[in-house]
Every structure is written in C-alpha cells, then in structure tokens.
Amino acid sequence: MSSTDAVPTELLKRPKRADALRNYEKVLTAAREAFAEGGEATALEEIARRAGVGIGTLYRNFPNRQALLEALYLGEVEQVCRSAAEFADAEPWDALNGWIGRLVAYIGTKRALAGELQNYLDQDAELFATSRESLWGAGRPLLTRAQEAGAVRRDVTIGELIQLVVGIVKIPSADPEQVDHILRVALDGLRYQA
C-alpha cells in the first residue's frame, strides 16, 4: 500500500518540487478513499479537504474532474496489466481464464469508477485509448496462446474478449452469482467456432 512510484514519471520535463509531489499523492489517495466511501459523485472540494490541501492545489494537478478520474483509472489498469505475467506458466485456457478472473475482480471493486468514467468517454477518448492499448497488450499473448492450443475460437480478438467481459461484469445486477453465470456462459461460447 506504500505508494511511492505511482507518479507517471515518463513525461515530467523537469523534476517537480518536493511539496508539489507530496500533494499530488495526497490528493490521489484522498480521491481513492473518497470515491470508494462516498460514491462517485463526491465533491472535489471534499476530496481537497480530505487531502488537506486547498482546492486550487487539486485543480493544479488535475485540471478537471475527468483528469482526476483518469489518473486513478490509469493506475488501476496498470495493475491488471502487470498481473498478466503471473499466468505465463499455466495451461493456455487456464491462464486466460485466470487473468480474466483478475480483470473481473478489478472491475467489481471499481464499478462506480468505471461508471463515472463512461460518462466522460466521448469527451476525451485519447487517454482512454492509450490505457486500452496496454490492457490489450497484456492480454493478447494469453489469448493467442489459448487459440493456438485450440482452446478458443480464432475469430475473437483480445479487444472483443475484454469488452465482452467488461460489459458483462459492469451489469448493475444485485446478484453477483448471476453475473458469474452469465460470464461463464459467454466464455463457454468462446470455445466453439460458429
């Protein structure tokens, strides 16, 4: 839970000041907590208060609500991507399934975040496309391996597979068992060529 390297250092032209970095982290952490507790509609001023910074500081780091949500989102996606490596040694079908399980678990805890994000998608699809690419990159080897082993129909792309899973899991049904079953049915469908 120690979050030291959570800053996307790739594009920082010059090093930030130490206090600025601290505040950036504090806002991100407060936002994570606040969205989890109080729902996706939590006021940004409340988040600034929790973080112990002024509203101006929040907005300097994240020009608008969407930017803050995206920053959270990107961090989470990165985690899922990294988890793909864990399944490199398993049987093709099991590996794919295992990683999908991770994806499902991730979406389950962050459903509110995902929902809010969908509202902003049309406005700024750029950053979202980037993260989608990395998610695809992480999952594609698993899918390809499963297809080459004959465990999955070959006309499915990794993008389709992920969207299928995301679409199902994001369903606002009260019953998680039902969602599980739907997912299982859909994944069964992957195994047979039409």
Partner DNA sequence: GACAAAACGGAGGGTACCTCCGTATAGTTC
Partner DNA sequence: GAACTATACGGAGGTACCCTCCGTTTTGTC
- Alpha-helical segments (H) within 39-157: 44-51, 55-61, 65-83, 92-109, 111-120, 125-148
Residues binding a copy of itself: number (CB under 8 A): 39
Among 64, 79, 118, 130, binds a copy of itself (CB under 8 A): 118
Residue 103 CB, shortest distance to a copy of itself, in Å, is 14
Q: Is 96 in the site for a copy of itself (CB under 8 A)?
A: no
Please identify, using beta-carbon distances, which residue of 79 and 163 lies nearer to a copy of itself: 163
User: 23 burial class (0-12, 13-18, 19+ CB within 10 angstroms)?
Assistant: buried
Please identify, using beta-carbon distances, which residue of 109 and 163 lies nearer to a copy of itself: 163
Residue 79 partner contact from a copy of itself, DNA, none using kind-dependent CB cut-offs of 5 to 8 Å? none
Contacts with DNA by CB under 7 A lie at 14, 16-20, 22-23, 43-45, 52-57, 59-61, 63-65
Centroid of chain to Cα 59: 23
Please identify, using beta-carbon distances, which residue of 82 and 184 lies nearer to a copy of itself: 184
In order, the DSSP letters of 103-132 are HHHHHHHTHHHHHHHHHHTTT-HHHHHHHH
Q: Is 192 in the site for a copy of itself (CB under 8 A)?
A: yes
Residue 76 CB, shortest distance to DNA, in Å, is 20
Structure tokens at 88: 């490199």
Query: Where in the chain does DSSP place strands (E)?
Result: none
Q: For residue 161, which of 150, 149, 146 has the smallest C-alpha distance?
A: 146
Residue 47 CB, shortest distance to DNA, in Å, is 8
Q: Is 37 in the site for a copy of itself (CB under 8 A)?
A: no
Give the chain's length: 194
